[in-house]
Structures are given as C-alpha cells and as structure tokens.
Amino acid sequence: MSTVSTSLQTHAVINEAVQTLHDGGLVAFPTETVYGLGADARNAQAIEKVFTTKGRPSHHPLIVHVAAPDVFDQATVDWVAVVAPWARDISEDAVKLMNAFWPGPLTLIFKKDKSVLGEITGGQDTVAIRAPAHPIAQELIRKLKSGIVGPSANRFGKVSPTSAADVRSEFEGELGLMILDGGDCEVGIESTIIDLSSGDHPVLLRPGIVTPQEIASKTGITVHLPGQKMEMSLLPRVSGSLKAHYAPTTPLRLYSPGRVLDALSEFPDTKTRVAVAVWDSESALSEDGHPSVQFHEVEVPSNSAAFASRLYRTLRDLDEQGWDLILFPEPPAGQEWDGVRDRLQRACFGSGPSSSSHASN
C-alpha cells in the first residue's frame, strides 16, 4: 500500500495485519502523529516483543489505541463506552475532551481498569488512551476488536518515524516486521498527553499540536502545566519527558535569532560542514563570515503546524546526509510552538554519535 485508500487491496492487507496481531505478532501502523509499533493490548507476550524490538525499558508505559466500533459520525460516538474496557473514573472533563478532540492527536491518562495488563502501564495504576484519526489505524483497531499498544515505531531514543520508509530503516534487521503504509504523517510530532487520573486538575504531560489554549477555548477546561499544581515527583512516569529523546546521530544545536555563529562556538575548528535550518519567512543567512565553515541552508516553515509536520522528516534527512553539525532556529514563544520546542530541545540534548546510549524512548 502506498497511499491512504480504501481499495480492496488495502482492506486485504489490513486483514492480514489483524491476523498478525491476533497471532501475537507486531505490526507497524500509520497514525496522524507518527507511526506506531503495534501489538494486541490484551496479549502480554506480544507487548513484551514491543519492548524488546524497540529496546525500551519495560517500566516505561505504553499508550493503548482505541477506535469507535463502526465507521461513524464523529458527533455521535459514545467514547465512554469505547474507553470503558480500559479505564475507570471517567470524569465529565474526560467526556468533554474526548468529544472535542477524538479521534485525534490527544492522549488521556485515566485510572486503569483492573483487566489492563501491568506490562502496558509499567506497573502504575493509570493507563494512557488515544483514538487515532488515521483511517488505517482505525480500521486495524476496529477489526482486531481490542486495543493496540503503540509506542512510536523507532529504536529507543531515536527520531520518531513519519513514513513507512522511516519505519523500515529503523527496523532494517527485523525480518518479517509487517509495516502498513499510510503515507506521510500529517501532524508529524507525537500526541499531546493530558493526565486526568488525579481526579481534580488535568495536567499537561507532553505538549503537542493540541494546546492548553485550544482545549480551554473548545471545552472551557483549564489544563495545568506540571509543577503548577503538583510536585514533579508525584507525576506519573513519562519516558518522553526524559531529557534526551528524539535524537539524531549528528550533533544538533539551536541558535537564537541572528546568532548562528554563536552556536558554532562549541565546535571551534573541526566542524566544517554545517546544515542550518532557516525560517522560510526570512532571507538567507548573511555572509557574516566564518572562514572554516561551509553552510548549507534548509528552509523550515514559520507556521508551527507546518514546522511540526516536517520536523522529524527534516532531522532524518539531514542526519543521513552526513553533516558535521545541524543548527535549527529557536522556535518563537507561544503554546503553538511548545510541542516542537520540547522535541527540539530533547533532540539537541540526545544528539551526537553516542546518542543511542542516552536514556529515552
């Protein structure tokens, strides 16, 4: 499959994927955010395979992906019934959030139903749930008649994949991994995560394309930032919150407006081939002269959603081109940039040849 289509061939391939999941195998699948590495959420052995294939520590919890039972009119889906097999204490806020944003790039953390396997939750009493918007993900989940655990389909600590080809290159050695091709991911960064499990205040655990401002304007719900109402130590574990994450092998640094040369000071002489991302709204870098450096400019969108959708693609492509250093402009202030700022900062921290030794997911 090369495009999102509902052709007979697509249905046949999805049926094969359902059988693979049913038999305890793994299937990489497209979502609107990034590709996931899927396993049947009711099969402990299959879930263990997800951890070993990714190389992810087993106490880092996974998201359960769910879908409405039928091809549906979004306005009439009973999301409470969809999450009920997995979660308990589903609050009014949760219902409002699900109605406003599902299916879509928002993950909600609930108290878990007792039937949810401890392998998914890292032994915590909470579970993360998301209803992806991608039609192939939905059909896969619906036909499996279960939930699908799906961490991003990348090796531990690496850049998340936003195309089937990215997944293939991440898992080159994994013969037999089935990969459903649903085209390029539209959103391009992982879902926003909101923790609803404490009962009173929703807390933002991972910023994404759905911002607290958008949540407030669509639902009237105030989302708190970690630390605003809770001690960090009381927050559930989120491996995406580790400092090093989403990391390319090439060193990556951010530069503030007009300060490209400052960013080079960390790399005094040896770095000669530097890829510099520049805003598409600005003219090219001025030739303010660094004799030993050869700059290659790559335009990046100055619209936050467009930037997010291209971010991992650009990082992967530049990483493969063999530059000595990659420079990205610091994203501007504003919640719509929080998701990409978060990913870029972690990617910088984890970047470099030894990035695989950093802890992350």
Please give the radius of gyration of the chain, using alpha carbons only, rounded to the nearest integer.
Answer: 20
- The site map against ligand TXA for 90-109 (x = CB under 6 A) is -----------------x-x
- Residue 309 touching ligand TXA (CB under 6 A): no
Q: If you ran DSSP here, which 8-state letter would residue 124 be given?
A: -
Q: Which is nearer to ligand TXA, 107 or 163 (CB)?
A: 107
Q: Which is nearer to ligand TXA, 185 or 327 (CB)?
A: 185
Q: Which is nearer to ligand TXA, 61 or 212 (CB)?
A: 61
**Which of 43, 121, 304, 314 is the binder for ligand TXA (CB under 6 A)?**
121
- Residue 134 touching ligand TXA (CB under 6 A): no
Nearest to 304 by CA among 341, 277, 256, 253: 341
The angle subtended at Cα 54 by Cα 128 and Cα 49, nearest 5°, is 80
Stretch that binds Mg ion, among 64-72, 148-156, 200-208, 265-273 (CB under 5 A): 148-156
**Which of 20, 33, 138, 152 is the binder for Mg ion (CB under 5 A)?**
152
Using CB under 6 A, count the residues that bind ligand TXA: 30
SS3 content of the chain, % helix, strand, coil (to 5): 35, 20, 50
Question: What are 193's strand-pairing partners?
Answer: 107, 206
- Residue 274 touching ligand TXA (CB under 6 A): no
- Residue 211 touching Mg ion (CB under 5 A): no
Nearest to 360 by CA among 119, 190, 177, 106: 190
- Residue 360 touching ligand TXA (CB under 6 A): no
| Residue showing tokens 């499996």 | 144
- Segment 322 to 361, residues that bind Mg ion, using CB under 5 A: 361
Nearest to 202 by CA among 105, 116, 83, 91: 91
**Cβ at position 144, least distance to ligand TXA in Å:** 15
**Which of 25, 36, 161, 207 is the binder for ligand TXA (CB under 6 A)?**
36
CA distance 50 to 64: 13
- Segment 136 to 175, residues that bind ligand TXA, using CB under 6 A: 150-152
Cβ-contact 292, 269 below 8 angstroms: yes
Nearest to 236 by CA among 108, 141, 106, 117: 108
Cis peptide before 103 (omega within 30 of 0): yes
Give the interface with ligand TXA as residue ranges (CB under 6 A): 31, 33-34, 36, 60-63, 107, 109, 121, 124, 126-128, 130, 132, 150-152, 190-191, 193, 205, 236-240, 361
